[in-house]
A and B are shown apart, each in its own frame.
Chain A
């Protein structure tokens, strides 16, 4: 059971972090040579799919992480390198809390992208729109794209840092 939970947890982290690195490194690179109209179509399609993969992975990470935490055995934990303890007075406990905070930040960011930033990029045009209204709409979409770009970079940095924080737990914690 412990092995299965740990494997599920690792696979979910891998799908999430590897996916976000691939979207940034591979998709952005390929977009440079594509006509702008097609960039929009591909972004919408890939973005929508990726958001659901990311949300599902984060939920699996949260569920398996919580179960693993509940199954942690104090005496067994003490036999690991550095004799860690799951309290805030010990580096292991503080690192675990930092990792949980990172997970919450990622969940909030991906949820914001899925339910707010992605829908905000949709163009709303009506035949009776004035030139000012069209310009304002363009500005709004521009702002939404900027927010999305910032969210994607924030997500990438935090997710890559989380892998490092998690890796430090094997040696007793980081902070």
Chain B
């Protein structure tokens, strides 16, 4: 099964559902902070925040959204070409005592999330950290799971999952490629 797995309407529905699930799980939005993991987690976090604000009008989407660069916490810095470091921007109020929802496009080995948890630890002490991903493709290498999942896509290791986000790629899509034909 290769090709486009999710189109723009599917992604929109998934994000709307996740936004509701986040509110349900946390019984409101008082202490919510959404942190996107670059690159594509960042626009997804902004979209989730906008959807939460549609449901809860006094949720300030812009003030509760941030981005968390995890480059300096990766465990594969020596086995990859040098990565450039991106910005980390947190809500002005910080994340102490907040419920942080990490947002990423694809959950795969779990190593990115492991790095993100370390990065969060250095930025403050949230009450809880939750994880929202658009796609869970399996093949975890660490004991990490997502709290909110857009779609579970069973894959083989040799396949590729590419998420397109309109802010970056011009369209919204989840594309599976590279498997045995």
Q: Does B bind A?
A: no
